[in-house]
Amino acid sequence: MIDMTLDPNADNPAQRTPLVQGGMDFKDVSHAVCDISERKTPKIWFLCLAAALGGLGLLKTSILYLIWEGTGIWGLNNPTYWGWAIVNFVFWVGIGHAGTLISAILFLLRQDWRTGVNRFAEAMTLMAVACAGVFPGIHIGRVWAAYWLFPIPNQMTLWPNFHSPLLWDVFAVSTYATVSLLFWYVGLIPDVATMRDRAKTKYRKIAYGILALGWTGANKHWQRYEKAYAILAALATPLVLSVHTIVSFDFTVSNLPGWHTTIFPPYFVAGAVFSGFAMVITLMTVVRHIYKLENLITIRHLENMCKIILLTGTLVGYAYAMEFFIAWYSGVEFESYAFINRAFGQYGWAYFIMIGCNVISPQFFWFKWCRTNVVFMFIISIFVNIGMWFERFVITMTLNNDFLPSSWDYYAPTIWDISTFVGSFGLFFTLLLLFLRFLPIVAISEVKNCMPEADPHHGDNH
Amino acid sequence: MSTQEKEWGLITEFKSSADIYHAAEQLRDSGFKKFECYTPFPIHGMDDAMGLKATKLPWLILACGLTGLATATGLQIITNMDLYPMIIGGKPNGAGSIVAFLPVMFELSVLFSAFGAVFGMIGINGLPKFYNPVFKHEAFKKVTDDGFFVVVSVDDPKYNTQKTTEFLEKIGGKDVTVIND
Is the Cβ–Cβ distance between B51 and B29 less than 8 Å? Answer: no
> How many CB atoms within 10 Å of residue A118?
28
Q: Which of B21, B114, B132 sits opposite A214 (nearest CB)?
A: B132
C-beta atoms of A225 and B121 within 8 A? yes
Residues 32-51 of B with CB under 8 A from A: 36-47, 49-50
Q: Chain A: nearest CA to B60, how far in angstroms?
A: 11
pLDDT, tens digit, for every residue of A379-403? 999 999 999 999 988 888 877 777 7
pLDDT, tens digit, for every residue of B155-169? 877 777 777 777 777
From A163, A159, A143, select the one nearest A151 (Cα to Cα).
Answer: A159
pLDDT, tens digit, for every residue of B17-27? 888 888 888 88
pLDDT, tens digit, for every residue of A443-454? 888 887 777 777
Q: Chain A: nearest CA to B177, how far in angstroms?
A: 18
- What average pLDDT score do residues A296-301 get? 81
Q: Which of B20, B83, B146 sits opposite A25 (nearest CB)?
A: B146
Whether the pLDDT of residue B70 is over 50: the answer is yes
The pLDDT of residue A167 is 87
d(CA A51, CA B15): 47
Q: Which of B40, B101, B111 sits opposite A175 (nearest CB)?
A: B111
The pLDDT of residue B1 is 42
Domains and CATH numbers, chain A: 26-450 (1.20.1630.10)
Question: Which amino acid, residue A257?
Answer: P
Backbone phi, psi, residue A44, to 5°: -60, -30
**More confident site: A364 or B2:** A364
In this prediction, residue A11 has a pLDDT band, given cuts at 50, 70 and 90, of: low
pLDDT, tens digit, for every residue of A311-330? 999 999 999 999 889 989 98
The pLDDT of residue A4 is 45
* Residue A5: burial class (beta carbons within 10 Å; 0-12, 13-18, 19+): exposed
- What average pLDDT score do residues B21-41 get? 82
Four-residue CA torsion sign, A267, A269, A273, A276 = positive
Q: Chain A: nearest CA to B23, how far in angstroms?
A: 11
How far is it between the farthest Cα atoms of chain B? 81
From A288, A247, A96, select the one nearest A183 (Cα to Cα).
Answer: A96
The pLDDT of residue A386 is 92
Please report, for chain B, the start and end positions of each structural domain, with discontinuous segments joined by +. Answer: 7-53+131-180, 56-125
**Torsion (CA) A356, A362, A365, A366 in degrees, nearest 10:** -80
The pLDDT of residue B106 is 92
d(CA A284, CA A117): 8
- What average pLDDT score do residues B152-157 get? 80
Would you give the end-to-end CA distance of chain A in angstroms?
31
pLDDT, tens digit, for every residue of A29-52? 777 777 777 788 888 889 999 999
Q: Kindly state the percentage of chain B with pLDDT values over 70.
A: 96
- What average pLDDT score do residues A209-229 get? 87
Q: Kindly state the percentage of chain A with pLDDT values over 70.
A: 94
Whether the pLDDT of residue A122 is over 60: the answer is yes
Whether the pLDDT of residue A439 is over 80: the answer is yes
Kindly list the distances between the CA atom of residue A265 and the CA atoms of A242, A314, B8, in Å, as whole numbers in the listed order: 8, 16, 58
Which of A26, A195, A249 should we substitute to test contact with B (largest number of B Cβ atoms within 10 Å)? A26
In this prediction, residue A460 has a pLDDT band, given cuts at 50, 70 and 90, of: low
Chain A residues close to B97, C-beta within 8 Å? 163
Q: Is B15 on the interface with A (CB under 8 A)?
A: no
The pLDDT of residue A462 is 46
What is the edge-to-edge ordering of all strands in the sheet holding B148-153? B35-38, B148-153, B7-14, B174-180
Four-residue CA torsion sign, B139, B142, B146, B152 = positive
The pLDDT of residue A10 is 60
pLDDT, tens digit, for every residue of A163-216? 888 889 889 988 998 998 898 898 888 888 888 888 888 888 888 888 888 888
pLDDT, tens digit, for every residue of B105-138? 999 999 999 999 999 999 888 888 888 887 877 7
Four-residue CA torsion sign, B88, B94, B96, B102 = positive
In this prediction, residue B4 has a pLDDT band, given cuts at 50, 70 and 90, of: low
Whether the pLDDT of residue A2 is over 60: the answer is no
Highest mean pLDDT among A264-273, B94-103, B123-132: A264-273
C-beta atoms of A220 and B52 within 8 A? yes
Average pLDDT, chain A: 84
Is the Cβ–Cβ distance between A75 and A412 less than 8 Å? Answer: yes
C-beta atoms of A216 and B58 within 8 A? no
d(CA A440, CA A194): 9
Q: Which of A182, A194, A226 sits opposite B42 (nearest CB)?
A: A226
Overall size of chain A counted in residues: 462
d(CA A352, CA A394): 10
DSSP secondary structure code for residue B136 in this structure: G
- Count helices and strands (H / E) in chain B: 5, 4
Is the Cβ–Cβ distance between A126 and A174 less than 8 Å? Answer: no
Q: Which of A159, A186, A220 sits opposite B118 (nearest CB)?
A: A186
- What average pLDDT score do residues B1-7 get? 64
Alpha helices (runs of H) in B15-55, residue ranges in sequence order: 17-29, 46-50
- Name the closest residue on chain A to residue B78, using Cα atoms: A159
d(CA A127, CA A435): 10
Is the Cβ–Cβ distance between A37 and A198 less than 8 Å? Answer: no
